[in-house]
Chains A and B, each alone.
Chain A
Amino acid sequence: MDPFVLALWAIRLALLGLLWLFLFGVARVLMRDVRRAAGEVGAELGRLVVVASPDGQPPVGAIFAVDAVTTLGRDLASTIVIPDAFASTEHAVITYRGRAWFIEDRGSTNGTYVNGSLIEGVVPLAVGDEVQVGRVRLRLDRGRR
């Protein structure tokens, strides 16, 4: 085959290739922008949704952002205040370590339950699990990113 014709075809395909290379370069910049926007204010690791609350405090359906360390209890200094009569002042703590969630009871009077069973020590927590503090039940959901 004529080397000139071959070179011409190579050039023609190179033109299309370069067009798509440009788009690829743009896409990389766009992806970086999206990731940076995700790391900005408003991003959260996870969220706790109130599923059951006999006294209506916090109300059912309320959503709390869960950070790397989140304390639950009647104490007003807790990250999530649970003013339930059966909750202790310092009831439980949820932590995010590496890529997994953990929950630990902080010596509460009535104990902390995960999916209905009483926990002892540090217990891993999965997305979708239900945590019961006092009579208030909360579900762990994925965060908005």
Chain B
Amino acid sequence: MTAAAAVAPRGLARFRPRTRRRELVLLVIVAVTLAVGGLSLGMTRTGTTTVEGGALLAIYVVALLIVHLAQSLAGRRTDQVLLPTVGMLGGIGLLLMIRLPQGLVTQQVGGLTLGLGQLQLVWLCIGLGIVGMLGIVVRSDAWLRMYKYTWAAAGIALLLLVFVLGVDQNGSRLTLVIGPFSGQPSELLKVILVVFLAGYLAEYRPLLATERTSIGPLSLPPLPYLLPMLAMVGLSAGVVIVQKDLGAALLFYAIFLVMLYIATGRAAWVALGIVLGAIASVGLYLAFPTVQERVSVWIDPFADPLGAGFQIVQALHAFARGGLFGVGLGAGLPEIAGRLPIPAVHTDFPLAAIGEELGLAGVLAVLALYLVVVERGLRIAASAADAFRALLAAGLALVVGLQAFVIAAGDLKLIPLTGITLPYVSYGGSSLLVNSVVVGLLLALSDRGIEPPPPPRTRGAIMRPLRGRRG
């Protein structure tokens, strides 16, 4: 007892809960919104005053509150807007998955058969667990900062593993199956790429900003320092292109340009990068029949409305049916002749479902939520203690924003459709878990109590004392 009494005060001294009032207020709004959504769905479906999927929504809200409580009890001063914002997006996704036919995706776990909504809830809860854990446990960024090349190597290895052990799905080799687990490593690779680029750019930023290679009238960044990044980006994009995952390739290249711009502040290089990217796209167009098909569908989906253009045409009709305020949750167009109008509605086209059932008001709200995530990331970056953290926070937030943009624009026929997920809304374990890692890291980076970064190290600073000792 005496030993316990001696230990207890020390333990209590470190235990300093902090209230997170803003987060709680926003989470309460999320809970009420989801309850009203469930009620709207139930009333439309059954014609009586019932809440559809009430149990699933309740479990989700409780999970959100647990993460909130855990952060309050841990006393971390992390960002209070990110969790409710991402929680709202996840909640909208969950509502959609409850609303869609449950037989779309099923999985046997033990003796239980889990439908779409239940599976999405399981992934969301695991994702929230990751968010809470990273937000509370991570107190130092050394494990990311020190091992950038290790991370890069791990990312490449992961990609090659998909090459060897991957399984073809919908004509693209994206899915890695190991025993009972399957996942899409290109999702994880985007985070690894951001970590590598942040580490590399933070170290070589002064060189990249001052020195340059001149080729004729062009003033380029110093090539020797640009090459490792180009190699990493090229390798990642190249491998996913061979796997026909064009959305991921576009995302990787865009993230590289964005982070190069953040690190050096040179718009001319971004312009050059866009030109090079455009040339590469033309090359891809000529080399791959898949790309030609995607582009021709994008230019005129109505040329083949029942074949290649089917999904896009149906999505456009769904947006049109939705109008300003939507037809209401659950009142959208049901199956036509036993199948869904948009087959990939739960992965690639959740925005079309939102557009139909919640209307323009709902779509704009969802897009605004992504904007909030990006704004938070940039604010965390602006108040970061050093270049690595700033680049990491900005890169992580922008990777989510860019991904949302690429798929939303694809759904709306603004750019050719590429099969990537709408972060936090789409069904899919890999996407949810990886994007949860992003939020968890952003939360950890936003903490003002996080361990200070190591003092900047330059080669000169390390060499000088050695020289002094010798002389």
Measured CB to CB, the residues of A under 8 A from B are 4, 7-9, 11-16, 18-23, 25-26, 29-30, 33, 37
Determine the distance from Cα of A19 to Cα of B358 in the docked complex, in whole angstroms: 10
Interface string of B368-384 (1 = CB under 8 A from A): 11001001000100110
Contacts of A23 in B (CB 8 A): 365, 368-369, 372
Contacts of A30 in B (CB 8 A): 81, 372, 375
Closest residue of chain B to A14 (Cβ to Cβ) is: B36
Interface of chain A, main secondary structure: helix
Q: How far is the CB of A123 from chain B (nearest CB, A)?
A: 39
Measured CB to CB, the residues of B under 8 A from A are 22, 25-26, 29-30, 32-33, 36-37, 39-40, 43-44, 47, 49, 80-81, 84-85, 88, 325-326, 328-329, 358-359, 361-362, 365, 368-369, 372, 375, 379, 382-383
Contacts of B39 in A (CB 8 A): 11
Determine the distance from Cα of A14 to Cα of B379 in the docked complex, in whole angstroms: 31
Contacts of B361 in A (CB 8 A): 16, 19-20
Determine the distance from Cα of A35 to Cα of B88 in the docked complex, in whole angstroms: 25
Q: How far is the CB of B221 from chain A (nearest CB, A)?
A: 29
Contact B369 A15 (CB under 8 A): no
Q: A18-B33, A26-B85, A29-B22 are in contact. Are A12 and B329 (CB under 8 A)?
A: yes
Contact A25 B362 (CB under 8 A): no
Partner of B84, one of A8, A22, A37: A22
Q: How far is the CB of A1 from chain B (nearest CB, A)?
A: 15
Closest residue of chain B to A30 (Cβ to Cβ) is: B375
Partner of B328, one of A8, A20, A29: A8
Contact A15 B372 (CB under 8 A): no
Determine the distance from Cα of A16 to Cα of B22 in the docked complex, in whole angstroms: 21
Max count, chain B CB within 10 A of own CB: residue among A7, A12, A23:
A12
Contacts of B49 in A (CB 8 A): 7
Determine the distance from Cα of A22 to Cα of B30 in the docked complex, in whole angstroms: 7
Contacts of A15 in B (CB 8 A): 33, 36-37, 40, 329, 358
Q: How far is the CB of B78 from chain A (nearest CB, A)?
A: 14
Q: How far is the CB of B203 from chain A (nearest CB, A)?
A: 26
Q: A18-B32, A19-B33 are in contact. Are A12 and B26 (CB under 8 A)?
A: no
Determine the distance from Cα of A16 to Cα of B369 in the docked complex, in whole angstroms: 13
Contacts of A21 in B (CB 8 A): 29
